[in-house]
Amino acid sequence: MRTICLALLAGLLLQAAPALAAPLDAAGMKALLEKLDDRQRNSGDYKSLVFIEQKEKGKSDLVYEAVIYRRDEDDKLMILFIKPKSEAGKGYLRLDKNLFMYDPSIGKWDRRTERERIGGTNSQRSDFDESRLAEEFDPEYLGEEKLGKFTTHHLKLKAKTDADVAYPVIEMWIDQETSNILKQQEFAVSGRLMRTSYYPKWGKIFSESKGEEIFFPKEIRIFDELEKGKSTTIVMLKVDLAPLPANIFTKAWLESKSR
């Protein structure tokens, strides 16, 4: 599996080559962002087991396992670390657009920003949460481009004034045939490139509550553009759409998992 992923990633890493094509107009870009959001959003609950590997030059690799809980209709998200033992019970909870982190070693909650590095890795809340591209960004069409063997829409997204997002500008390459996001780059206010992410594999699962399949990135490879040699790989090991307990998205519930 890893060999196949690396081969696909190598294809994505090929230099993007501009090509002539009719651009999407404003209505077409809006429809595309709405489609990207809808295909990843479940009308019921969402739970996934994720593997997170952090690589940093000169340091030992860090490996984590966590469980992601989502209730998209209420904009609720919880991340609970379960491995290694030293991190078990640590968690994040998003309530009313506020992100909180719980450290069981001191029994304390702290409010965190959208740029919080989840578990100290290159991953952020948005890597695990539902997609809100149409709600949070205004798109600009940069062109049709080849990304390896894929023909993509290359979009530039600028955050809306009232959006609370990690980075104000995102560039995104979307496969025209499957509508899968293949590559994403995030920029600071200064215009400096902060992160480059690749999405070599997408999965889908049928949602009984929605009555159709929902899509999720099976693997995300995130490269830190400030600290070269530092990268994070996220692998979705298992996705479950069964209803979750009603009271799960509370600080008390997360605290109970560390006792």
The pLDDT of residue 16 is: 46
CA contacts within 13 A on the Cβ side of 203: 14
Give which of 224, 222, 223, 220 is closest to 235, Cα–Cα. 220
Contact 187, 193 (CB under 8 A): yes
pLDDT band at 12 (very low <50, low <70, confident <90, very high): low
Output the average pLDDT for the chain. 91
Q: In the prediction, which pLDDT does 15 show? A: 45
Higher pLDDT, 23 or 203: 203
| pLDDT score at 14 | 46
Q: Each residue of 183-196: pLDDT tens digit? A: 999 999 999 999 99
User: What confidence score (pLDDT) does residue 107 get?
Assistant: 92
Percent with pLDDT over 90 in the chain: 83
CA pair distance 257, 235, nearest whole angstrom: 23
| Pairwise pLDDT comparison (1 vs 63), residue with the higher score | 63
Distances (CA, A) of 43 to 70, 204, 241: 10, 15, 10
Determine if the pTM surpasses 0.85: yes
pLDDT tens-digit profile of 115-131?
Answer: 899 999 999 999 999 99
Sign of the dihedral through C-alpha 185, 226, 8, 215: negative
